[in-house]
Structure 1
């Protein structure tokens, strides 16, 4: 059986959402990020990204990691693309061209959107109002996201999903990256096609199932 190492409050959410979409059974080992613990190296600390047992599996010390039929894979986008290809079906590429396009959109999300979207998530999503310094950082990140979001907006303005009228693994990868910036209403409201697509993705039962399990985890 597929094993996913990592709590759902991590990039493991992408893999878990995909598994629910494909009705693919999996076992989850809730490895938590070391930075979320007061002393991750304490003898009574929960399994985390500093734990020797986890580092023996992933020397980079980052979650998620999957194990599947002897394969150990430690990048979430590589894992989703691999699982989609392996198991096939409507979420997977139908041919080489679709495979290339799914990789294109997944890599675009990771390289052109995710860094600034994560900055917005970490600073904009805090309980307290951002400081002037944090506000400036958020504004700069939002401004840098305008160009790549215009690209996604233009693409989605004439189609329901990234690959046309079919929901695929590429939508999961892009949606989970854009979720990080979703709370920045002033930015996202400028891209109505992106927002409509994101809402449709997040209305799917498989996403809701993943989100419920994520919400049940400690913050």
Structure 2
């Protein structure tokens, strides 16, 4: 059985969502991020990214990691792309061109969206007072996201999904990255097609199942 290291309150959410889409059983080992613990090296600390037993699996000390019949992968987007292709179905590529497009959109998410979306996630707290420095950082991140979101808006204004007009692993990967920024209305409201697509992705039963499991975990 597939083994997944990492709590769902992490990038492991992408893999959990995909597994639910595929109906793929997995054994989840709840490795927590060390920075969330007061003393990750304490004798009674839960399994975390600095625990020796996890470092033996992932020397980088980062989650998620999968063990797929002995194949150890530690980059979440590589994990989802691999699992989709291995198990097939509508989320997987049907030819080399689709495979290339799925990689293209996944890399687009990773390089153009994720860094600034994470800044918004960590620093933008709706309804809470922010420091001037945090406000400036969020505004700058949102400004940098306008260019790639215009690309995505133009693409989605003519189709329902990213590739072949069906939901694929590329939609899953990009939707999970863009989720980090979706709470910043001043940015997202400029891109109605993107918002409609993201809402459609998040209404899928497999996403809803993953999200309920995520919320059930301790913060």
Match of 1:27 in 2: 27
CA drift at 1:165: 1.7
* Alignment RMSD: 0.9
Q: SS of the residue aligned with 2:7?
A: coil
Match of 2:82 in 1: 82
Runs of 4 or more off by more than 6 Å in structure 1?
A: none
Match of 1:140 in 2: 140
CA distance in 1, matches of 2:48, 2:210: 21
Scaled by the length of structure 1, what TM-score is found? 0.99
CA distance in 2, matches of 1:125, 1:19: 31
Match of 2:114 in 1: 114
**What's the CA shift string for 1:95-122, capped at 9, x where partnerless?**
0000000000000000011000000000
Q: SS of the residue aligned with 1:4?
A: strand
Match of 1:150 in 2: 150
**What number of residue pairs does the alignment pair up?**
219
Q: SS of the residue aligned with 1:60?
A: coil
Q: SS of the residue aligned with 1:63?
A: coil
Unmatched segments (≥5 aa) in structure 2: none
Q: SS of the residue aligned with 1:215?
A: helix
Match of 1:105 in 2: 105
Unmatched segments (≥5 aa) in structure 1: none
CA drift at 1:130: 1.5
The answer to whether structure 1 residue 4 and structure 2 residue 31 are counterparts is no
Scaled by the length of structure 2, what TM-score is found? 0.99
Match of 2:73 in 1: 73
